[in-house]
Structure 1
Amino acid sequence: MSRAFVKEGDGSLDPLPDLPLSPYPNHVTPTGLAALQARLRDRQADLAALRARSDRLDKLPEAAAERDIRYLEARLRTAILIDPATLPLTEVAFGLIVTVADATGAEHRFQITGEDEADATRGRITPQSPLARALMGAVPGDLVQWRKPTGVEALEILQIDHP
Structure 2
Amino acid sequence: MHKINLPLSRRGAALAFVLVASGLLAACTTPTGTKPSGSTASRPAAEFIRPAPGATLARFDGKRNKGIDIAGSLGDPVKASADGRVVYVGGDLRGYGNMVIVKHNETFLTAYAHNNVILVKEKDVVRQGQTIAEMGKSGTDRVKLHFEIRKQGVAVDPEPYLGGRAR
> What range describes the TM-score normalised by the shorter chain of this pair?
under 0.3
TM-score, with length taken from structure 1: 0.21
Higher relative contact order (CA 8 A, sep 6+): 2
More helix by share: 1
More strand by share: 2
TM-score, with length taken from structure 2: 0.20
